[in-house]
Each structure stands twice: as C-alpha cells, then as structure tokens.
Amino acid sequence: MGFGQAVSTCFSKYATFSGRARRSEYWYWILFELIVILVAFGVDNALHLTFVKDAGPQVGWIYTIAVLALFLPGIAVTIRRLHDTGRSGWWWFLSLLCGIGAFILFVFCLIEGNPGPNQYGPSPKAG
C-alpha cells in the first residue's frame, strides 16, 4: 500500500473502528498527519492567524481545524492497526498515559500483524 492509497483508505474509513489496518496504512497515515499539521502550523504563523499569544507555541485557526479533522480517523486507523496485531481497540487508551503508555502503543503498532484471519477479520495482506 502506497502513501496516497493509505491516506485515501483512512479518509474513506473516517470513523470505521472495525477491521484491520496494515502497518503501511498506519505509518503512512501518521506521516500524512505530521505533514498536514506542520504545514498548518507554518501557515498560521506566516499569516499571523494565531490566537494563543503567550510565550509558548503560537497555535492558530488552520492548525486547530487540521488537528480536529484528523483526530477521529487517526484514532480509527490506530484501533484497526491494534486489531491487526490481535489486540482490542481498548488498548488505544494507553496513549492517554504519559510516556510509558504511548511507548507501549508505539511498540504494538510497530510489530507485524497476525498473518491469517483473527477475531477482527481477514488479514489485510491477503488481498
């Protein structure tokens, strides 16, 4: 699965929490999110569209809209990725724990999925 196909799949399954996602789909989505968020952050700062005016990072409207638009499909693809490794989507809540939870979730998303069908559906590599 290539970059464009992965992004298209994630948008077509915007709030689909069932099924499985290959590693390539998940990591290309993460790359897409990173690019969009960095570009939105840069555009906000270049056009002075920021609304947080303290000493920290200058958060703006385009950045906020981008984060909100990508939030739900990001959770969905993460849960489908967890399903591919044979884990319940409830493991996603580990990411809410500081440090160690996010690291454990990162490791779960790195490992290869189950080669055959599991309780969440057929292998996404099989077709």
* pLDDT tens over the chain, length 127 residues: 899 999 999 999 999 899 999 999 999 999 999 999 999 999 988 888 888 767 677 788 999 999 999 999 999 999 999 999 999 999 899 888 878 888 989 999 999 988 888 999 888 887 5
Return d(Cα 116, Cα 46) in angstroms, integer: 49
Domain ranges of the chain: 3-126
Q: Please state the pTM of the whole predicted model.
A: 0.88
CA neighbor of 113 nearest in space, from 97, 94, 126? 126
